[in-house]
Amino acid sequence: MKELNNNDKEYLLSTIRDIEDFPKPGITFKDITTLLKDKKAFGFLLDHLEERYKSYDLDFIAGIDSRGFIFGAPLADRLGVGFVPIRKQGKLPYTTISEKYSLEYGFDEVEVHIDAFSCEKSSPKVLLIDDLIATGGTAKAAATLVKQAGGDCVEACFIINLQFLKGDVELKKETTVYSVLEIL
């Protein structure tokens, strides 16, 4: 179950609600709260991710603020590895390193603790995870942070990839990308 078959993908897609014109007109928002409240679907998704990543010999899972936490923390627990939050600027209490990324109108920034990936290994293996990749700016900044903090980002995982926005294209220059579901 390294990748889902089409029936399994359709099942998971059927548990995700579309919200038209949110957060602004013309955008169809993929609402994962309906997947999360469905214990069978959420369990199935976590089972799949656990099966996919159990042979990766990971040291950490890094979840991107904030929905990456929802998937990253329970997966880290299942795999017996540490969980590291990558947060929006100003949300972490200790010394951080940060990375800026472009938005449609300006910039934003993500941060990680400077010692986030400290362990007995010189280059610990890190899985980066988030619920969705759209334009890819946040994900690319997060992957850069993993490297700057001493981790080896072995893969970036997304529950949903909005392929038509091509956010994974630049990220693939940094790391392997896996998407459970792809929206063309």
Q: What is the pLDDT of residues 145-176, one digit of tens each?
A: 999 999 999 999 999 999 999 999 999 999 99
Domain ranges of the chain: 57-183
**What whole-number percentage of the chain has pLDDT above 90?**
95
Q: Residue 120: pLDDT above 60?
A: yes
The model's confidence at residue 2, banded by pLDDT at 50, 70 and 90, is confident
CA 132 to chain centre: 7
Q: Which of 67, 78, 174, 182 is catalytic?
A: 67
Cα dist from 102 to 25, 49, 89, 108, whole Å? 21, 30, 14, 6
| Topology of the domain covering 57-183 | Rossmann fold (3.40.50)
Whole-model pTM: value is 0.96
Q: Examine the residue annotation and report whether 52 is marked as an active-site residue of this protein.
A: no
Averaged pLDDT of the chain: 96
What is the model's pLDDT at position 106?
A: 80
The model's confidence at residue 70, banded by pLDDT at 50, 70 and 90, is very high
Q: Examine the residue annotation and report whether 78 is marked as an active-site residue of this protein.
A: no
